[in-house]
Structures are given as structure tokens and as C-alpha cells.
Structure 1
Amino acid sequence: MKEYKKYAWLALICIGVEVVLEIMVPKLMADLIDIGVTNSDVPYIINKGIQMAVCAVAALILGVGSARFSALAGQGLGANIRKAEYEKLQSYSFSNIDHFSVSSLVTRLTSDVTNIQNAVSTGMRPFGRSPVMLIFATTLAFQINSTLALVFLVALPVLAVLLIIIIINVGPRYGRMQGAVDLVNRCIEENLTAVRVVKSYVRGDYEIEKFRNVNDNLKNESDKAFGIAVLNMPAMQFVMYSTILGILLIGGRLINSGQMMIGQLTSFLSYVLLILNSLMMMSNVFLLMTRSLASAERIMKVIDEPIDITDENAKDIEVKKGEIEFNHVWFKYKDTAKEYVLSDVSFHINAGQTVGIIGQTGSSKTTLIQLIPRLYDATKGEIKIDGINVKEYPVRHLRDAISVVLQKNTLFSGSLIDNLRWGDENATLDEIKEACSIACVDEFIDRLPGGLDAEMGQEGVNVSGGQKQRICIARAILKKPKVLILDDSTSAVDTATEGKIRNALAKKLPDMTKIIIAQRISSVCHADQIIIMDGGRVDAIGTHESLLRTNKIYQEIYESQKEGADL
């Protein structure tokens, strides 16, 4: 809020002065009736009338100013919260992101922030008006008739108790309502992401029913929350009208006994309405704050999430060669998990080597390579690059030196060349063409409308799976990394094209350490060494020939793929 604090103060000043001017009007009106009208003093009536008009116009101008400054403060606060949240998300590790669902993070960046900025934009005015109006109006009411003002001593505690009961009950409901919004967003996100699967399996009716359930859940939670919140108005009206009836009853008797004038009672009733109106506004502010606090709590969980991968032990060093060593590494995703995903993993990769990693599905191959660029941190053991623990490298430098092409290929909205420049935003056209040549992207660029300037669409819907994989490989090569990791990233590419990519990597990037995770033995058989993973452990390390002679798992994979090829 610091950047927009001046607007908040200006809004509060405008509101404060506006309230004082509004409070002056009933006082002027009382004098106009009791002195001007009673004595038929026309000049006095005109003078007081002009003063009332000036106060009203000035209050109007200040009201417009306060609304503008409140909006600037609220919208600015919302923008800064979104920025802070989004920046924090960029520093999250994979394990941090695992603590939240994507739909929940979207809600916390949008709906929850909107609740807070609305609380400021629309709540600033009643927040500023209520206390000032309450204090000044109550003071003037006591000045007019202290006996009549004692009615407030009964009304205010009753109102306070009613408001406290409402707020205590509505607070948790708002939190559950925002959780229901998360579920709706998740349902929509899943359906739109997997729309091709939904249509190919003709599951539209099932998705409609699923959405109806979460939508009804949101409606029910909203009904419960707002059903309690709207009790605020009846409670206020009950107290307000009861107070007015009491004042009219007592005031009438005072007028009959000559202890009070009609103008004083009229003025007093005006102040009563101002006081009760201020209390009503204050109660609305409490409801706004209750809802915004529920949203703020959800937002602060994102902002206060402790980052588990930091540069705490980092030194000013960079990866020079790309030599990798795993030294008795153990890993599990959660500290509370009973079993380790990786158990006592040790191996050594020389700089410039090509290493294949193969194993059955679920043998933790992907988890293994995610530890190298510190997408996760090892639970026990040590991972070294160039003989230095990965935790001693600044995270930014470490990940700059390691390119990972993950199993799930991701392209962004924009042109093909924009996607390639994610690898190096300053890459020249020649460098881009060279990377495309190595990854065999040049084979289909000419067929795309616009070539390098072709639009990819969201998540690369305009290209096939194999083309998307090759684009991602070219993007990774453009980083000019010391270590290139291909995580089953040629699975959608035919064997001939895969062979071209492999040969180009070996010839044109001989000094780059290359780690290839694959399901096909043909993808790794030419590697300098092959690591066999089984159940989160290293079962064997060797060349294609040695493993084919000695390792049972490798032999089984080889035979099954050979049989498939023969068929």
C-alpha cells in the first residue's frame, strides 16, 4: 500500500471534512427554524439557507474527490498484491507449487485480490465517515438534549451484540465460499485443457454433471454466507426504528412540558439518523473486512510460503564443464512420506559424455534428473557438478547452465521464433537456424504458415506432438548449456529423425554433457554409458554391449522391444 498511501490519506481527509460539513447542516437548520422562522426574520433565513447550500455543495465536491482517491488506492493496492503474489510464485520450487492446486492459485490471484481491493475502494468512504460522523453527531446530540441522548446508551450495546454475532458466523463462511470458487475454477481448467479427450470419449454429459455439482456447491456456500451477511440490514433497521420511536415518545413529552423546542427535536432526529447511518456504514465495513480478511489469509499463505530452494549457501561461481556426480542420494517428495522415491543413488558422468537412463515406468527416472538443476532438493546425500555441491551454485546460474526438456512439452502463445527465444532472447537468426537444424525443426518450418513467424497458439495447438518435441529441443539447445537433459523428449519422433538429432548433438555439440531418458533402447544404445533404474535405485551402469550380456532388466527390455519390432 506504501506506493498509494497518499491517495488513501487524501481520501480520508476529503471524507473527514465532508462529514463535518454534513453535520453542520442540521445545526444550521435548527437555528433557521427556531430563530428565523419563529421570529419571521427573512434575512436570517436567507443567510442560513445560503450557508446550508454552501456546505452541501462543498460536501458534494469532497465526496467526488474521496471516491476518486479511494478508487486509486484500492486498485493500486490490488495491482501490487497481484504483482507480489506473481513474483513470489516465480521463486517457488516444484515442491512449493505442489502445496497448491493451479485453480486455487488462479483464484488467489484474481477473486481474492478483487475482494481486498473492493474493500478498500468501496470501504474507504464508510470507514472514514462512520467514526467522524458518530463522534461529532453524538456530541452535538448531547449538546441539544442530554436526557434524550441517553436513548443511545440502550441502542448501541444491542446493535453491537447483533453485529458481533453476525460477523463471527459469516467469517468462516467466506473462507469456504472462496474454497468453492477454487473447485469451480479447477473443473473449468481441467475441462478446457482436456477438451479433446472429453470430446473423443464423448464425456460431455459427465463433465456437465461434474460442473453442476461444483457450481451448486458454490451457490450453496454463497447462499449460506450472504444469508447471514444480509441480516446486518434488518438488525440495523430494528435498532434504528426502535431508537426513533423512543426519541419521538420522549421528545414529545419534553416539548409538551416546555423543556424542548420543535426545531431542537427536528435537529436531534437529523443527528440520530446520521448516527444510526454511520453505525450502519460501520457494520458494512466490518462485513467487507471480514470477507477481505478471509481472502487476505489465503493470499498470505502464497506470499508467506517458505521457499525451500534458496541461494542461502551460494557462492559467486558458475558451471564450467558439466561433470556430474551423485553421491549416495536419497529423495522423497514430503518429509512425512514413509518411503523414499530415490534410494542410495550414486554414479559419475564425465563432462561431454552422453549418458542414457532407462528403466520401467515408475522407476523414478524423471525425479532423478530433476535434482540436477535443483527443481527439487535431495533429501539426503550430495549432488555435485564440476566437483562442487549444486547448493553452492546460485540457482539462476545453475539452471542457466542446464537445459531440461521435460516429458510434458510446453509452448507458449506467440510465434515460433518467440518460443525459440525463450532459450536465448538475444539469439541471432543464424543461431536460431543452427539450433533448428540440430533438432530437425528445419524439416517442417517451411510448411508452417509464416515459417519462423508462424503462430503457435495456446500450448502449441498448431503443431503435432513430434514437432512440438523438436521445437522444445531446439529451444533448449539455444541456451548453450553445459548439460542438456532430454526427458523422454523424442518419444513422438520417428526413429530416423531421432537418429538425426542424436548424431547432430554428438557432432556439433561434443563438449556438452547429454543425459537422455528414454523408453526405447534404440534411443540410448549409442550412449557412452547407460544407467538402469529400478524401483528408485540404480540397478546397473554400463555400455549397451555389457548390459546386454550381464543385466537381466536390460535384457528383458531389449527382448520385448525386439519382439515388437519383429511383429
Structure 2
Amino acid sequence: MISLLKYLKPYKLQVVFVALFTLLGSMLELYLPTLMADVVDIGIVNSDITYILKIGVWMVVCSLLAILMTMGKAFFASRTSLAFGRDIRRELFVKVEHYSLEEFGKVGASSLITRTTNDVKQVQDVLNMMLSLMTRAPLMLIGGIVLAVYRDAKLSLIFVASLPILAGLIFLITRKAVPLFGVLQKKTDRLNLVLREGLTGVRVIRAFNRADHEKEKFRKANQEFRDTGIAVNRIMAFLFPVMMIMMNFTNIAIIWFGGIRIDQGDMQVGNLMAFLQYASMILFALIMLAMTFVMIPRAQASAGRINEVLLIKPNITDPKQPSEHTGLRGHVEFKGVTFRYAGAEKPVIEDISFHAKPGEMTAIIGSTGAGKTTILQLIPRFFDVEKGSVLVDGTDVRKMPQKELREKIGYVPQKASLFSGTIKENVLFGKEDATDEEVLEALETAQASEFVKEKENGIDSYIEQAGANLSGGQKQRLSIARALVRKPEIYLFDDSFSALDYKTDQKLRKTLKETTADAAVIIVAQRVSTITEADQIIVLNEGKIAGIGTHQQLLEENDIYQEIVASQQTEEESA
């Protein structure tokens, strides 16, 4: 929690205002019982109406000023805590955006969402409470004790007995509750994960009639969250009644012993009334401190989870001294590249070497799990190689700024990812300043213009989250258009034609050949028909290159390629 307070630096002045308003407001509140005692002991006892009215006006003025101070304090405390929460959420989002895929997978999407929303909210609320209460409560506690002792030192001995007992009870209750706050946040993570999977995978769930299974999974996660929440609240429920009981017993003791002292002539009635108010202030201040200390452990658990995200150092960072430009354009070269995912025993790809040149199409084909997608993901540096090097335009990608590297690439992922918004906005994701003509041209090349024109609003038609209102082929074509609109030096197509029919696939390949004539094109494909015209085909087998050549060369010389072609011909013939 303390480590996050550095985000308060821009709001030092507002924190000073909170402290100032709290100090002035507390002093005014502490002064009111003294005025009331004077009204009783001087004005009422002497039947001095003028004095009563004069002091009464002062009490009204002090009360109004105290209200204004409280409002000012609340305003600046809320403004500061909300800005603090906003800054941390922004910092988390920016940090996660710089994660490599490896770090992103370690934490998980659901946990990152919880940490950015729920955990930040917990810390933000506690900060607001600290600014509002933790600055006020000590002032009221210390000021109340000092003024109570000033009023009657002997009667103040009651606090020597009541305050330690109350503090001990608060400690015991919070000690039981603190460990459960961390558990509660983990249960929130689990609930979010189950809910997210249930919503994103709703089609699969229905297709396999697994709705009841998912309901049971959600019910279990929901019940665990509920049970933990009830356990925490059950413990915390003891806190307030215990405080009220102690406060009431303290007041009874003050009235009892105060009455005796008045009867003996050692104390006046007004003083007793003021003493009772100071006692209430002291006990309420202790309650406020207790409530704040109760919330701090939960915020501490949340702050720890936030810091876990902020302290992760991305494996992939920009070089301190980038290499100079070589003058090449559209060249991709793998030199003895070996790569394994974190925790894996065997490398996914091993000793991969090839050269993709501008104006040429390089295709990669192989069985599932052979490492085709991994090769493509190493080019934009989503991961770093274990051995060897990946060169783009003659420069190792590890010696290039990530932004500069990725501006050279038009990447179409295996799973088409679209964002909620219009078709135009999704295509502009590839090139922010593209004109409508460029957008339409990219859609035409990607064979998407036909279905776009059929929509009522054309390129301004709305796409739901993840493209839920589009077919698989439509999503793929829009993803291709997004890559085409930026006109990069290198095109990476990761099995991006799998959802297209053969006719559309053929048309798309023909137009792509014309559009990408000056760029290097690397295609991962499952269908042989998609890559027959490739300048070079790389055949992968168990993470190693089993052959490189044209379609005709591999068909004559490579056994694995022959098997792939034969299996697909058989499937097509039987169909």
C-alpha cells in the first residue's frame, strides 16, 4: 500500500487542503462543548439571556464553519482518491500493454481485469477513508482527551479502563478478519474467470449441451465467494456492537461518577455535559480509526496484487542503442533459430533457417503443433528466441525499437480479432490516417467489399464485440483488410484463409499477388491449394525444417509434403 502512495505526488496541494480543512473543522468541533458548558454554567445559572444569546450565536457560527470545513475536506479527499485510482488504472493498463505474451499468460486476463477494477477500487476507497477519517480521528482523539482532562482530570481516569479494553477487542476482531480479505480477492478472480469463460464460450457450451455443467461451475464459484464474504462480514459484524456497548458503558460510568462529583461540589453540570461530549468524540474517533484499520488489510491485499502486476519486468524491451538502418526493405531471415515456451521441456522449433525476400511469397506448412504460428510470432517479436537470430531488413529484431519493427509488418492472426465499433474503425486499426478510398480499396482486395456493401450503413456498419454479428469468413476478410490498408513491407498471414471457400480463396490470392508485389509475404497454411504458387514452401515436421522448395520440387522430392498433398486430395475427392 505504501509503495502506491507515490502516485499521490501530483496531488500534494490537495492533500494539504484536506489536512488544513480537517484541522480547522476539528478545532471548531472541539470548541463547541466548551461554549455549551459556558452557556449552562454561566448563562443559565445566572439567568443571563444576553450571554446565552451571544454564546449561542457563536455556536451557530462555529457549527456552520465546521460544516463548510467538512464539505471542503470531503471534496478534496474524493477528488484526490478518484484521481489516484484513475492514475493507477492507467499505469496498470500501460504496463500490461508492454507485457510480452509470456507475462500476459502468467497473470491471466481475468485476474488482470479484477486487479485493474476491483483491487484499484479497494485501494481508492481506503485512501478516501484515510484522507477523510485517519486525519480527523487522531485530532479528535487527542484533542478530546486533552480537553476532557482539562475539564476534570479525576473523571478522565474512566478512559484508562475503557480505551485499552476497546482497543483489545478491535485488535482481536480484525486479526481474525484480515487473512480472509486476501482469500476473498482470489475468489473474485475465480468468479470472474468462470463468468468470462461462460460468456465468451457460450456457442461451444450450447453446441455440446454443457449449459448445466457451466451453471454448476458458476454456482460453485459463486457460492465460495459468498461463503468467504459471509465469513468476513460475520466477524466484522461484531465490531460495531462491541464498540457501542463499550461506549454506552463508558457514558454510564461518566454520568454515575460525574453525578457524585457534582453532588460533592467538585464539578458543575455544564462541565459534565461538555465531558460527555468529549467522551463521545474520543470513542467515535477510536471507532473511526478501527473502521479504517479494518479496511486497510483488504486494501493491503489489493495493493499487493496491483504491485505484482506493476513490478513484473517485461522480458521484451527496446534496446538502449538501436542498430542503424541497413537500407534493406522487406527482408526476413531466420538464422539457426531455436525457441521454447516458458516451462516447456522441448523446443517448439529448432535450428530454423530461411530467407524471405520482397516480391516473394514464403509459405509454411506442416502438421498441427509443428511450430508454424510460433515462427510468425517471432518476427514481430512477440517472443524472443532462445538461440539464433531473427533478422528484419538485415537487423536483429532485438536491436530494433518494437514500434519501428511492427510498423513494417501487417499481421493477420490465426484467430480473427475484431473490436466493437464500425467496420471502418476496425480497418483503420491498421492505419489510423487512412482515407475512405484506402479503406474501400483494402476491403476490395480482401474480398470483403461485397458483404460490406450489403449492410445498411456500409463501412459505418457496427460490429459487435469480437465480431459476434459476423461469420468466420467475414471476420477473416476484415482482419486481412486491416493488414492490407497499412501497406507494410512484410505481410504475415497465420492460416488466415481457413474459413474461406475455395472460390473466395482463389480470388483473394490473385488480388493479393498484385497488391503485395513489392513486399515479403509469409503465409502459414493448412490447405495445399492456398500455397501452390508460393516462391518457396517450408515444410515443418516436429519443429524442424523437413524441406524447402517450390510446390513442384517438394512434390517430387519431399516425402512429408507428398503425404500432406495426398491426404488433402483424398479428402477433396471423397467430399
In the alignment, which residue of structure 1 is the partner of 2:335?
Answer: 327
| Deviation (angstroms), 1:393 | 0.8
| Deviation (angstroms), 1:489 | 0.4
TM-score by length of 2: 0.93
For 1:73 and 1:62, how far apart are their aligned partners in 2? 16
For 1:463 and 1:256, how far apart are their aligned partners in 2? 88
1:558 aligns with 2:570: no
In the alignment, which residue of structure 1 is the partner of 2:174?
Answer: 167
In the alignment, which residue of structure 1 is the partner of 2:3?
Answer: none
1:509 aligns with 2:516: yes
1:280 aligns with 2:258: no
Secondary structure of 1:147's counterpart equals: coil
Match of 2:38 among 31, 51, 56: 31
Work out whether residues 342 and 537 of structure 1, in 8 Å CA contact, stay in contact via their aligned partners in 2: yes
For 1:37 and 1:130, how far apart are their aligned partners in 2? 32
1:360 aligns with 2:348: no
Could you report, residue by residue, the CA deviation over 1:528-564 in whole angstroms, capped at 9, with x for unpaired residues?
A: 1111112222222222222222322212111111111
Letter of the 1:53 counterpart? V
In the alignment, which residue of structure 2 is the partner of 1:201?
Answer: 208
Identify unmatched segments of 5+ residues in structure 2: 1-7
Matched ranges for 1:168-247 at <5 A: 168-247=175-254
For 1:25 and 1:451, how far apart are their aligned partners in 2? 70
Matched ranges for 1:53-452 at <5 A: 53-315=60-322, 317=324, 320-334=328-342, 336-452=343-459
Worse-superposed segment, 3-12 or 179-188: 3-12
Letter of the 2:437 counterpart? D
Match of 1:542 among 545, 549, 556: 549
Secondary structure of 2:507's counterpart equals: helix
Work out whether residues 180 and 232 of structure 2, in 8 Å CA contact, stay in contact via their aligned partners in 1: yes
Work out whether residues 402 and 484 of structure 1, in 8 Å CA contact, stay in contact via their aligned partners in 2: yes
Secondary structure of 1:321's counterpart equals: coil
Work out whether residues 533 and 539 of structure 1, in 8 Å CA contact, stay in contact via their aligned partners in 2: yes
Worse-superposed segment, 226-235 or 72-81: 226-235
Letter of the 1:172 counterpart? P
Letter of the 1:272 counterpart? A
For 2:254 and 2:323, how far apart are their aligned partners in 1? 77
| Deviation (angstroms), 1:249 | 4.1
1:468 aligns with 2:475: yes
For 2:261 and 2:542, how far apart are their aligned partners in 1? 91
Could you report, residue by residue, the CA deviation over 1:235-279 in whole angstroms, capped at 9, with x for unpaired residues?
A: 322432343344344434433433323322222121111100100
Letter of the 2:28 counterpart? L
Letter of the 1:217 counterpart? E
| Deviation (angstroms), 1:383 | 1.2
Work out whether residues 314 and 391 of structure 1, in 8 Å CA contact, stay in contact via their aligned partners in 2: no
1:481 aligns with 2:488: yes
For 2:321 and 2:384, how far apart are their aligned partners in 1? 14
For 1:330 and 1:151, how far apart are their aligned partners in 2? 76
Worse-superposed segment, 418-427 or 535-544: 535-544
Work out whether residues 356 and 522 of structure 2, in 8 Å CA contact, stay in contact via their aligned partners in 1: no
Letter of the 1:332 counterpart? R
Letter of the 1:527 counterpart? A
Aligned-residue RMSD, C-alpha: 2.0
In the alignment, which residue of structure 2 is the partner of 1:491?
Answer: 498
Work out whether residues 123 and 288 of structure 1, in 8 Å CA contact, stay in contact via their aligned partners in 2: no
Letter of the 1:347 counterpart? F
Work out whether residues 318 and 399 of structure 2, in 8 Å CA contact, stay in contact via their aligned partners in 1: yes
Number of residue-to-residue matches in the alignment: 566
Could you report, residue by residue, the CA deviation over 1:75-125 in whole angstroms, capped at 9, with x for unpaired residues?
A: 222222222211222222211211222221111222222222222334432
For 1:433 and 1:59, how far apart are their aligned partners in 2? 65
For 1:311 and 1:101, how far apart are their aligned partners in 2? 24
For 1:162 and 1:247, how far apart are their aligned partners in 2? 21
Residues 313 and 503 of structure 1: is their aligned pair in 2 closer, same or farther, counting only changes over 3 Å?
farther
For 2:298 and 2:12, how far apart are their aligned partners in 1? 22
For 1:240 and 1:342, how far apart are their aligned partners in 2? 71
Secondary structure of 1:99's counterpart equals: helix
> Among the aligned pairs, what percent are the same residue?
38
